[in-house]
A and B are shown apart, each in its own frame.
Chain A
Amino acid sequence: MKNLVKYLIVFIVLITFGCSDVIDLKSESNISVENFYANYTDLQVGLTSCYKGMQAPLSEEWSMTELRSDNTVENSGTSTSTVKHDLTYLDQFYPPTTHQGVYNYWLKTYNNIRNTNIVLNASGANYNESNGAIEYTPVTIPVTLAQCKGIAAEASFIRAYHYFNLVRLFGGVFLIHEPITPEQAKQINRTSVTAIYKLIEADLKNAITNGISSSYSGNSSDLGHSNKWAAEALLAKVYLTLNRKAEASVLLQDVINNSGYSLQSTYGNVFSVNNEMNSEILFAIRFKGGGLGMGNPLPNNFAPVNSGNAIINGDGDGYNSPALEIIKTSSSYTNYIDPSAARFATNISSFTKGNAATTYFVNKYMSPTIIAYDAESDWPVLRYADVLLMKAEADGNVTSSLGYINQVRVRAGLAALTSINVSTTANFEKALASERRWEFAFENQRWFDIMRFTTTMTSVSPATDQFPNLKIQGAEYVMKKHLNNMWTKLYSGFTVLPIQLNQLLSNANPDRFLLPIPQYEIDTNSFITIQQNPSY
């Protein structure tokens, strides 16, 4: 009996002191979000991750924009790789609604919108849907209102950047401007294009008012952060897209007069990894090579297949190949070729192996790397040259506009245009459009430019004799012409995904210029019906 008592005591002691901390555990490797935002440093750490989040969508962005434009093509017509097939679908305007790349781009973009919403929420910045303004409410953590506004301004810029891309690629998307629960998400349907632009405008105005306003300095530790000038330039582009040229002009004038940004002396300098965040870069998505997990994968994506270490360490994937039209050797397309040899050489290069046909590739971002898919090169989003050309676009065919165009031309080593060259609106618009195409080749601008010109520069792509029966103009004309050219030279030889010319041309219609809302989104919601874009 004594023993019994003894053992029972041991047993009871074990139970009682059986440490309830056994099941009360905290992660040792990660901080939980709920406990994270406690001071200004934490807000900065959160904001940093929003910049990091801008990198991910770039892996697909070129295939949503440059590839679908007349600048680049998917040229492996005999490849059996699923990835290449997906690229062909985009290039030829028939992506299925379940397209993996479209879904990835969508998800990565919204993932970073979520990050910005969390940071904005933590800084007390709320979007008021009715009056279209960012409003501040006091927060419980020990930070000043000015600090909150500074953080929020940058997060706003990033959020606006994402929505601007989404609205142009998908139309009226889902408007998410605060952290939401999974249940709430299932009650939200697509909104109008107007409502998305309203948020973009509010965000960019917030970024202009509260952003870093000091002028450009090459040794500032703020380089890489968005500032007032980047926000003004981006808002100007938004206004141009909405055909509100006067408002754009005012903002651009401010950047030209007061920002301190300027053109680099040579075109090649702008993209050199030894000259990052130079005076021409208003905003870039930054990368850092050297095995830090922060490198740029795109140079390897764009380098030619089977080039070994000749172009970049670790071989290339051969994505985003320049279309025949803009390659110097194809003489039948002289009108499309960049007259600036210096600019051409920076943008496009070629690679030849054995007797195989020469491959042309996007050379702009090639830089020495140690590890594959880990390049140093930043991705330019807003350049001073863009500011100048946007200003010309906003102001139209006036003398000062010619001056802005000529600044860019002369820097590229070309002769300045005279007023005779731009004697008509059509000539002016053509000169400006061409300049933009060459200057921003492979910077994911061309697709949006083509779309924008359809409403803002109607003379640039008229219905001509090429497709007399179709009476089309604008983007549809540009793209059909491009596809027609490429069919003869390229697509007709596709054997794995063969396509007929009439099918190809009918694919390129304005409905298909919008991407499909990912089928995943439509399928996941069993409560409300989500409208797919027309023709999908």
Chain B
Amino acid sequence: MKKTFLLVLLIFTSIINSQTDKLKITGKVTDSQGKGIPGVTVTFESSNTSTDLDGTYSISVKNSKSILRFTSIGYAPQIVVVGKNKTIDITLMESKTELDDVVVIGYGTQKKSNVTGSISKYTNDKLDDAPVSRIDQALQGKIAGVQIQNISSEAGADTKITIRGISSINAGADPLVVVDGQPIPDGLASINMADVASVEVLKDAASAAIYGSRGASGVILITTKSGKADKAKFSFKVTTGVKMDYKRYNLLSTSEYTQLLFKEQAIRNTDPAVQAEGVSNPNALNMYYQGSGTKINNLIAAYIIEQTMLGGKGYNYQDEVLRTANYRNIQLSATGGTKSMKYFVSGGYQTDEGIMLKSNFDKLNFRTKLDLDLSKRVKLSVNLNPSFQSKDSPSENLTNFWRYPSWLPAYHNNLTAAFVNQIPQWGAIQAGDFAQPRHFLGLNYFPTYPDGSQLLMPDGNPYWLIGGAQTNTIIGGNPFNSSQNNPMSSLLMHDINAKSYGLQSGATLTVNLLPGLDFKTMNTFYLKYDTKNNWSDKNADADGMLSKGVYSYNSYIDLLSENTLNYKKEFDNHSLDIVAGYTVQKTKTETSQTTGLGYPSNDINTLNNALYIDKSGTYGYKNQIGLMSYLGRVNYAFKNKYLVSASYRADGSSYFGPGRKWGSFPAASVGWAAKKESFLSKVDWLSKLTFRTSYGVSGNNRILNYGFQNLLYSANYTFGPGNGSQTSGQAQTSTITSNSDITWESTYQTNFGLDFSILKNRVNLTVDVYRSLTDKLLLQQAQMAFSGVPLAWNNIGSLYNKGFEIELSSTNVKTNSFKWTTSANLSHTENKIRELGNEAYLLNYGERNEIYKSVVGGPLIQYFGYKTNGIWTSQAEINASGLTSNLPSALRPGGLKLVDVNGDGVLDTNDRTIIGNPYPDFTWGLTNTFTYKALDFSFTWQGVQGGKLINGDANYSETRSRNVSYNSNRWLSPQNPGDGKTPYEDIGFNWMLTDYVVEDASYFSLRDISFGYKLPEKFAKQIGLSSLRLYTTAQNVYFHFASGYRGINPEGRATSGPYSSALIGGYQRGSFPMVKAFAFGVDINF
């Protein structure tokens, strides 16, 4: 009754009003093409309304002098004085800059012109044109200060992302990834590129400090697409393409290598010094000369096989395992809504084959995003993103393929099968079966083989005349005495499949409490459930192996509640934005693994069929991580000219021990929009000039769980009679010692920024200069091995980072039909260790005993080893040098000539010195975009200048002997020293410890090119579509290596196992080749 009364009263009064002093205005708001725009806000003083689906509106105003304001995101706002007309139709101009004007920041958004920190925003609705499976790969070279490195080219593999250099030594240095306000633990892996509306990167500490303990390495904010109040729109996009390797190793086959050795021997024989050494000097060279050494015989056995049974052309493992792979990405989305209910629904399916056999990555994503206005004051936003990924990984590293000798085919042919059938054990082998090294052991190798052909040696002599040795048979030759299967057969006999089921979901309720004051509570649930099956057939790696299935499960459940109060107020010349909040996050993980062995058949591989369960491969762990925080921030602007922002966050983390859990992270920044001053407002060519400066503290808590206490692990033993009975034992077997005092690592960063635009925003320049100090480094410090544990957690030392970033964008040409824009970015960063507690330096050992030195005053790590100066050409030269050494093989003709750095006449460990570091001088990206009528064309160059890597390929004797990059122009004898720089393959000091393997890691690449054609609208309409675009893209069409780099992928790095520490970096070990890709796609909207 009461309600009815009020309603009647309301209607009555409004009628009265309209009759007296109010005007009712109606009209239609359209876009430049005359189409109605729904959802435009029409404001008169404090009342407002919004347009309907067709763009019509009606509003009451006071009188003809009233002012109406039309605003809508994506369009330039317009102000109209009512005047005489009661119907006011408005055309709103689309405004790209207006859309860009808002940036997402931590716990809110901000007008771009008011930003005082250092935030990069990247938007590109064609991001998902690129034939890559991950968004980070598509972002390479696009954002200043963000270095993205494809350390592995395996399908779906993680990249390494570094924002503003390395700010942490041992704690995790990956940036925090936040999707729609929700921190995501597994980074960018599960993001569907097609769902992304914008990417913001918080680079300076002041911007990231609001994320407190997790902000030190920068924050990447992903905002996904939302619905708009409009008719349902559908989008369908298919991209399909092929990928292949950019470059392979140039390797010699067994025949070519044998021929090389003979050719070299012929040259060597002309050197009197070699003949003088005679046969009594059994070094490797004389082995070839004598023809009686094991190596030559085995090699000749291999040569005979290749020449007589494989037609002289070996099996190329590298070529066989690499393939032209397929890529397909299908995206479908629907978006639309009403004033009070907007939706965005998408589904994507992506299948991405790796360029190596058995490498596949499939991804299935759904996203539902609903924005509901439950009432005038209450808004609800629901985000639901289930995803599924399936990844097949090859069991063998590509290294094992290019290392493998060519004489051994992956499969037997008729000739090889008949040959090995001579051994009763291999009597049943047929053509098409896997060929293994063991099949060829202990057979007699004749020069006439089996097809009757007479074999001549590479020097043209009959076989039995090599080196004068009068033999015509190799009795019981062992061309390759290895028990391991050939890598192709191992690869095919293993199945490694990981499936990941994910659910990112969240609900945000926003309640408008008072004008300008909102209470927002976001509650999210993140689930990730991974299963991995690692199956090996019987005899998969070698003879005598049981079939084996390893089943692991991993669950990750993360609950987050964020509760904030936001207050926004604009009055007179002031604008104020305040956030205060409380968040709590809890993560539970569970891991288990079961290993079953001995299955009745390779086709049945579930655990119920296993004969044995292996305890050493069977375990289960649980873990919990908790974080609770209080945060607050004030953004204040006076006349949008003087800008101030201050924030504070306090974090409590379960990673640290009692009394050490809490840390606080304050930040402040100021800005001055100078262009808005009266003395600049009349300078026409200048469109924007803003100075920014900020200072803030962000932290890092990412260490192993429970790093503050030593934990015990199972260490059981057997006691008692007979075979004994198992007895429980518990020991500290962790490889790192705890430290009860460890706490936050803090990064203090100062940033100076300048935003500069001229010629009506045609040219925009942003420059940021920063300097940061990371203090109390969470350090996995090497400790004395006699402590029993090689590492210990510590909180010592500090590290400086400084650098700058430049972002430039310009509209070079803009006519009605042609537009050319350029965007470029350049960044430079350098770091320096300020102190390491009371240590002068730290040394860390890598996989090949190469050493990484961290020394106070120097960059974070530097390679530490021996300098070389070419090679020793002769014994006489060694004698003349007067040097002595206890280092193994340091003084050998044909070996590397180490430099006696300290000049004491002895080559020893004291001669080790700094031989390079991994840090680039500059990273840069350059994108040009052209549009001409319906055509669009763009290309991106991306590069890294400077920095060195340690090329681990040289560790393999196969590389040194058969890789053309390593054996050309090498030393052969004192009179034939080659180029004087290239040592002989197996002579002299260990290459891996010297600067001989330290190579320039610079590169630049034509990262992507894309070309598109958009069907003119009238044709599209005729076939019932709102738009249709065809496009083709290519990746890495050109890749430039630095001179001196001998590998195939300067981006490749290995950081696995115990060597995955920031103190061990720049080491490259036989990574995948770079991937070149071509794709074609169609994008349909209706």
Query: Is B784 on the interface with A (CB-CB < 8 A)?
Result: yes
**Is there an interface contact between A80 and B958, defined as CB atoms closer than 8 Å?**
yes
Q: Which of B726-734, B803-811, B931-939, B1077-1085 contacts A (4 or more CB under 8 A)?
A: B726-734
Quick one: which of B442, B732, B888 contacts A114, CB cutoff 8 A? B732
Known: A107-B790, A111-B733, A186-B783. 9 other contacts (CB 8 A): A27-B711, A28-B622, A32-B712, A48-B719, A52-B715, A110-B788, A186-B784, A219-B721, A357-B442
Task: Give chain A nearest CB distance to B845 CB in angstroms.
Answer: 6
Tell me, yes or no, whether B544 is within 8 Å of chain A by CB.
yes
Residue B313 at the chain A interface, CB threshold 8 Å? no
- Whether A3 contacts B444 by the Cβ 8 Å rule is no
Given contacts A45-B729, A293-B616, A354-B443, contact A273 B792 (CB under 8 A): no
- A30 and B712 CA atoms in complex are apart in Å by 6
Task: Evaluate contact between A182 and B737: CB separation under 8 angstroms.
Answer: yes
List 19 interface pairs A-B (beta carbons < 8 Å), by A numbering.
A4-B513, A24-B626, A32-B712, A78-B295, A106-B785, A114-B732, A115-B731, A186-B784, A188-B786, A223-B720, A276-B724, A291-B614, A294-B716, A294-B726, A314-B544, A495-B284, A520-B782, A520-B790, A522-B909
Asked whether B840 lies within 8 Å of A526 as measured between CB atoms, the reply is yes
Q: Are A356 and B612 in contact (CB under 8 A)?
A: no
- Known interface pairs A22-B584, A100-B849, A370-B597. Does A356 touch B724 (Cβ–Cβ under 8 Å)? no
Q: Are A521 and B784 in contact (CB under 8 A)?
A: yes
A288 contacts B724, CB within 8 Å?
yes
List of A residues within 8 angstroms of B706 by Cβ: 27, 30, 32
A78-B298, A306-B438, A356-B476 known; A221 and B721 CB under 8 Å? Answer: yes
Q: In the bound complex, do residue B729 and residue A51 qualify as a contact, i.e. CB atoms below 8 Å apart?
A: yes
Contacts of B841 in A (CB 8 A): 526
Stretch at the interface among A13-21, A123-131, A339-347, A451-459: A13-21
Whether A495 pairs with B295 at a CB distance below 8 angstroms is: yes
- Tell me if B817 is interfacial: C-beta within 8 Å of chain A: no
Which residue from chain B places its CB closest to the CB of A35 in the assembled complex? B709
- Chain A residue contacts of B727, Cβ below 8 A: 48
With A173-B786, A371-B612 as contacts: A496 and B561 at CB distance below 8 Å: no
Interface membership of B488, Cβ < 8 A = no
A114/B789 contact (C-beta < 8 A), A25-B626, A223-B724 known: yes
B614 and A293 contacting across the interface, CB-CB below 8 Å: yes
Residues on B with C-beta less than 8 A from A218 are 721
In the A-B complex, the 6 residue pairs with the smallest Cβ-Cβ separation, listed nearest first, are A356-B442, A354-B442, A114-B788, A48-B729, A49-B731, A293-B616
Q: Is the CB of A493 within 8 A of B294?
A: yes
- Complex-state Cα separation, A25 to B792, whole angstroms: 22
User: Which single residue of chain B is at the shortest CB-CB distance from A108?
Assistant: B788
Say whether A500 contacts B482, CB under 8 Å. Answer: no
Instruction: List the B side residues contacting A11 at CB < 8 Å.
Output: 519, 563, 565, 582
By a CB distance below 8 angstroms, the chain B residues around A354 are 422-423, 425, 441-443, 476
Residue from B717, B723, B730 within 8 A of A31 (CB atoms): B730
B661 at the interface (CB under 8 A from A): yes
Q: How far is the CA of A221 from the CA of B724 in the complex (A)?
A: 8
Contact among A79, A223, A309, A498 for B721, CB-based, below 8 A? A223
Kindly provide the distance from the CB of B789 to the nearest chain A CB, expressed in whole angstroms.
7
Interface set, chain A 46-98, CB cutoff 8 A to B: 46-53, 76-80, 82, 89, 94, 96-98
- Collect the chain A residues with CB atoms within 8 Å of residue B986's CB: 495-498
CB-CB < 8 A to B652: which residues of A?
20, 22-23
Which residues of chain B are within 8 angstroms of A176 by Cβ–Cβ distance?
Answer: 786-787
Within 8 Å of chain B (Cβ to Cβ): is A420?
no
B956 interface contact, C-beta 8 A? yes
Q: Say yes or no: A314-B545 contact (C-beta < 8 A), given A306-B441, A496-B957, A524-B782.
A: yes
B683-708 residues at the A interface, CB under 8 angstroms: 705-706
Q: Is A465 interfacial (CB-CB < 8 Å)?
A: no
Q: Is the interface of A mostly helix, strand, loop or mixed?
A: loop
Set of chain B residues within 8 Å of A357, measured between Cβ atoms = 442, 476
Would B784 and A52 count as touching, CB distance under 8 A? no
Contact B888 A33 (CB under 8 A): no
- Tell whether A306 pairs with B717 under 8 Å between CB atoms, given A3-B513, A33-B710, A180-B787: no
A289-304 CB mask vs B (1 if < 8 Å, else 0) is 0111111000000000
B781 engages A276 (CB within 8 Å): no
| Cα separation A15 to B584 with both chains bound (whole Å) | 9
CB of B73 within 8 Å of the partner chain = no
* A525 CA to B377 CA, complexed, in Å: 65
| Contact, CB under 8 Å: A315 / B544 | yes
Q: Within the complex, what minimum Cβ distance (angstroms) separates A211 from chain B?
A: 15
Docked complex Cα distance between A7 and B565 (Å): 10
Q: Is the CB of B326 closer than 8 A to any CB of chain A?
A: no
Contacts of B584 in A (CB 8 A): 18-19, 22
> How distant is the Cα of A284 from the Cα of B719 in the complex, in angstroms?
11
Answer whether A315 and B783 are a contact pair too, CB < 8 Å, given A97-B909, A294-B718.
no
* Alpha-carbon separation in the docked complex, A303 to B682 (Å): 89
Q: Is B511 interfacial (CB-CB < 8 Å)? A: yes
Q: Which chain B residue shows the least CB distance to A518?
A: B785
Once the chains bind, are A524 and B728 in contact (CB under 8 Å)? no
Complexed CA–CA distance, A126 and B1027 (Å): 84
Q: Contact between A49 and B717 (Cβ–Cβ < 8 Å)?
A: yes
CA distance A397 to B288 in the complex (A): 54
Chain A positions near chain B (C-beta within 8 angstroms): 1, 3-4, 7, 11, 14-15, 18-25, 27-34, 36, 45-53, 76-80, 82, 89, 94, 96-98, 100, 103, 106-107, 110-115, 118, 173-174, 176, 180, 182, 185-186, 188, 218-225, 273, 276-277, 286-288, 290-295, 305-309, 313-316, 353-357, 370-372, 374, 376, 492-498, 500, 518-527, 535-536
Q: Is the CB of B616 within 8 A of A291?
A: yes
Q: B277-301 toward A: CB 8 Å interface, digit per residue (1/0)?
A: 0000111100100000111101000
Q: Does B496 contact A (CB under 8 A)?
A: no
Residue contact A4 to B514, C-beta cutoff 8 Å: yes
Partner of A498, one of B284, B438, B783, B958: B284
B127 within 8 A of A: no
Q: Is the CB of B712 within 8 A of A36?
A: yes
Q: Does A309 lie within 8 Å of B544, measured CB to CB?
A: yes
Which residues in B have their C-beta under 8 angstroms from that of A225?
A: 719
Whether B628 pairs with A23 at a CB distance below 8 angstroms is yes
Residues of A within 8 A of B728 (CB): 45, 48
Q: Chain A nearest CB: distance from B1034 CB in Å? A: 39
* Contact (Cβ within 8 A) B622 A306: no
Tell which of A173, A219, A293, A314 touches B716, judged by Cβ atoms closer than 8 Å: A293
Write out the residue numbers on chain A whose beta carbons fall within 8 Å of the beta carbon of B377.
Answer: 3
B149 interface hit (Cβ, 8 Å):
no
Given contacts A76-B481, A219-B721, contact A22 B628 (CB under 8 A): yes
A101–chain B nearest beta-carbon distance, Å: 12
**Shortest distance in angstroms between B854's beta carbon and chain A's nearest beta carbon?**
11
**Residue B10 interfacial (CB < 8 Å):** no
Contact A15 B582 (CB under 8 A): yes
Establish whether residues A292 and B615, one from each chain, have CB atoms under 8 Å apart when the complex forms.
Answer: yes
Q: From B787, which residue of chain A is reached at the shortest CB distance? A: A185
**B566 interface contact, C-beta 8 A:** no
Cross-interface CB contact of B654 among A25, A30, A106, cutoff 8 Å: A25
Give complex CA distance A368, B723 in Å.
14
Task: Please give, as numbers and ranges, the residues of chain B lying within 8 Å of A314 by CB-CB distance.
Answer: 542, 544-546
| CB pair B886 A48 closer than 8 Å | no
